[in-house]
Amino acid sequence: MLRFTEMCTPNACPCKFFNCLGFTPLREILPKLPRFIPENGLEILDKEKAVSFLESTSEKGYVHSIWAGPLPAIVAVCSCDLPTCGAIRLRTDFDINACWKGHYVATVNLDKCIQCGNCNDICQFDALSYDPNKGPRIDLEKCYGCSNCAEMCLENAIQLVERDSIPITRGKY
């Protein structure tokens, strides 16, 4: 997504202040809305800084979601977490589809897993449970495909696979 844009800007969101990246047309609108401009001004990020920004929010365990206007326009990338994110909470708490699951789900290769427990408690959607004797287990129907568990696994035992390649999750976004 960042390959297709020249610039973007961190923008205020109602959940976590300045953890979202705004793209055109949002990037063009934000400077005209004073309440969304921080005291030190609105920062415009090039691609390199935008990638660094997303990496820093990933390191915090935030979940990324893409927000679109009339297709194919991508308006923003939200980086948030539970219980802060309003859109995710609408989905998890009230089953309102304000936020869709990703195109991937996480799976565990138990042959690679060394049962270190690094993935324990990382899943914000309660899709991953960890048993010290059996290792991690992923409830595919709860998995949003955010990749936080895979990022935590130093052995690459957790991989993302296409949601539609698994019968139980096919078409369930």
Report d(CA 165, CA 169) in Å as an integer: 8
Q: What is the pTM of this model?
A: 0.76
The listed CATH number (3.30.420.40, 3.40.50.300, 3.30.70.20, 2.40.110.10) that belongs to domain 104-165:
3.30.70.20
Instruction: Summarize pLDDT for 36-84 with one digit per residue, the tens.
Output: 555 556 677 888 888 898 899 988 989 988 887 766 677 788 888 888 8
**Where would I find the H helices in the chain?**
26-29, 47-59, 86-94, 148-152
What is the average pLDDT across 101-112?
96
| Domain spans, the chain | 2-91, 104-165
**Per-residue pLDDT tens for 128-168?**
998 888 889 999 999 999 999 999 999 999 999 999 999 99
